[in-house]
Amino acid sequence: MLAMRFLLAALLSLLCAVPALAAPDARTIVVGGDRDYPPYEFIDSDGKPAGYNVELTRAIAGIMGMKVEFRLGAWSEMLSALKSGRVDVLQGISWSEKRARQIDFTPPHTIVYHAIFARRDSPPAGSLEDLRGKKVALHRDGIMHEYLAARGYGKDLALTPTPADALRLLSSGGCDYAVVAMVPGMYIIRENRLTNVVPVARSIAAQRYGYAVRQGDAELLARFSEGLAILKKTGQYDAIHAKWLGVLEPRPIRWQETVKYVAVVVVPLLLILGGTVLWSHSLRRQVAQRTESLSRALEEVQLNQQQLVQADKMAALGILVSGVAHEINNPTGLILLDVPILRKVYNDAAPILEDRFREEGDFTLGGLRYSRVREEVPRLLDEMQDGAKRIKRIVEDLKDFARRDDVGGKESVDINGVAQAAVRLVDTSLRKATTRFSARYAPDLPQVPANTQRIEQVVVNLILNACQALPNPERGIELETSLDEEGKRVILRVRDEGSGIAPENLSRLTDPFFTTKRENGGTGLGLSVSAGIVKEHGGTLSFESTPGEGTTVTLSLPVGS
């Protein structure tokens, strides 16, 4: 009897755990960093987080629609805080094999070069080997602390809370040398007027520098990786990098370099100008043709840039989906295997329980009266199996949506089937956005030549846009399919009763990077990518909207011959 009680209690616990698999995460991301590591990250004179890492994180958060909270402190404390879960992500950390066994890293966004610093009157030190037997200052738990400690320098190290403390200790004569990252070191020397401290060996170590999350947090890792990729493609990363990590002191140009610049730039320019004067008459006739060619080339460049950004986003999504699908399918598979076994166990035990019920009357089983258990357990088992099957189907739909189609081949596609798969994929978003969703699928629609995943991507985007347009769940969304009057094109329409679109914005909806939802994390790529996909299939995408009443989007695809 005791074993039976334990078994049924476990069943109830497992049932309660199943819905949690898809619970959304709306938390604020806590971003940790070093309080005194300029110009990468530091607390400014107003007591606020500042620096290259801080501005880069804010840009990623803006693009990805994340809410972040900065928490800067001593580096050693921040590294411990990440491992213990008190912060979600470190915005500036160097990669090492030891660290990679404990935390997960994004692709690096910067290379940090370290240098040996000494007082002006110190003996020269050209490499790390020259530091053996010397007292060396560096900040605690930094990458160079880990590097030198692993190579037997531990007894010679003077550990400080920050790089600035290490350089001040060196300046005051408290140690022989200091090992600090080159750019922060020069920044600290300049700001603190440590005029007796100079770098004596530059670039002794180059470390890959980026973001890190707790091990296994694949979703957060993918969001920061995706945000970095978008910033690099849009040029925002280069602007932030140049602002904070430019050369601290401009290098004087030698006369030899001046001569080289004149030879490489000025002389060819003079030749070009002379040739332009000689051939100006003939070139005038070609200006119109050249201008038209350049316009077409510019359009192709813009389209390629858009496709590159989307490719990066889909690659990051593929990584995320692969990890999430693996993590969800494993427990779901166990549920689907175990529930039939538990059903057989219960069915075999039911006669014994019924005999006791007839002999002794009602009794308690797993904290519930048996008269209720015999009615509830079969239903619970059925719900568990149905729920697990639903989870598996949703995961498969998500994998199909995210799968990259490198071949780009087309096949005969049932547009009703594509629309139904898209609706299943965004079911959670629909239920949150509206209580009045309806779908009407026209019977006997002819098939269209298309790539299933790419058209499904378009439909998913249209439905999600409709969800985001609704001010409250009482407003509705309608999806319908039909055939045009001539029977040559299949039509799919998505109507929403949302806030609508201003007339001046209708013509710009498919422009790359144009969005009216920037504050909510919109990047302005969804409809642009969708329009490109539809154009590749010989179709059209049109918009009708009345502000305050809603929007209708019509997708039209040609029927196969």
Question: What pLDDT, on a 0 to 100 scale, did the predictor assign at position 289?
Answer: 77
- Cβ atoms 120, 70 nearer than 8 A: no
Residue 117: its H or E element: strand 110-119
Asked whether the predicted pLDDT for residue 184 surpasses 80, the reply is yes
Nearest alpha-carbon partner for 134 in 179, 101, 103: 179
Instruction: Categorize the per-residue pLDDT at 502 as very low, low, confident or very high, splitting at 50, 70 and 90.
Output: confident
- Cβ atoms 545, 473 nearer than 8 A: no
Q: pTM of the predicted model, to two decimals?
A: 0.43
Q: Which of 205-209, 360-364, 431-435, 478-482 has the lowest mean pLDDT?
A: 360-364
Give the Cα separation of 132 and 302 in Å (integer).
Answer: 55
More confident call, 530 vs 146: 146
Instruction: Categorize the per-residue pLDDT at 350 as very low, low, confident or very high, splitting at 50, 70 and 90.
Output: confident
Cβ contacts of residue 299 below 8 Å, gap of 6+?
A: none
Instruction: Categorize the per-residue pLDDT at 414 as very low, low, confident or very high, splitting at 50, 70 and 90.
Output: very high
**Residue 7's CB: how many other CB atoms inside 10 A?**
15
Tokens read off for 105? 């890293």
Query: What average pLDDT does this structure show over 151-169?
Result: 93
Asked whether the predicted pLDDT for residue 258 surpasses 90, the reply is no
- Cβ atoms 498, 464 nearer than 8 A: no
Tokens read off for 242? 């140049």
Residue 333: its H or E element: helix 287-360
Cβ contacts of residue 538 below 8 Å, gap of 6+?
A: 557, 558
CA angle 172, 175, 179 (to 5 degrees): 105
Give the Cα separation of 237 and 170 in Å (integer).
Answer: 34
411-558 CATH? 3.30.565.10
Largest CA distance in the chain: 115
Tens of pLDDT, residue by residue over 25-71, are 468 999 999 999 999 999 999 999 999 999 999 999 999 999 999 99
Give the Cα separation of 57 and 79 in Å (integer).
Answer: 17
Amino acid making up residue 310: Q
> Burial letters for 528-546: b for 16+ Cβ neighbours within 10 Å, e otherwise?
bbbbbbbeebebebeeebe
Question: What pLDDT, on a 0 to 100 scale, did the predictor assign at position 367?
Answer: 82
Q: Hey, is 521 helix, strand or coil?
A: coil
More confident call, 10 vs 357: 357
Question: What pLDDT, on a 0 to 100 scale, did the predictor assign at position 11?
Answer: 42
Parse the chain into domains and list their residue ranges. 1-21+301-404, 411-558
Instruction: Categorize the per-residue pLDDT at 313 as very low, low, confident or very high, splitting at 50, 70 and 90.
Output: low
Asked whether the predicted pLDDT for residue 6 surpasses 50, the reply is no
Tokens read off for 80? 């411990």
Question: What pLDDT, on a 0 to 100 scale, did the predictor assign at position 518?
Answer: 55
> Phi first, then psi: what are they for 270, rounded to 5°?
-60, -40
Nearest alpha-carbon partner for 442 in 479, 477, 480, 412: 480
CA angle 556, 558, 561 (to 5 degrees): 165
Query: What average pLDDT does this structure show over 5-17?
Result: 42
For the stretch 426-432, contacts whose Cβ atoms lie closer than 8 Å and that sit 24 or more positions apart, written own/partner, are 426/460, 426/463, 426/464, 426/467, 427/394, 428/22, 428/24, 429/463, 429/464, 429/467, 430/463, 430/467, 430/477, 432/467, 432/473
Asked whether the predicted pLDDT for residue 511 surpasses 90, the reply is no
Cβ contacts of residue 431 below 8 Å, gap of 6+?
A: none
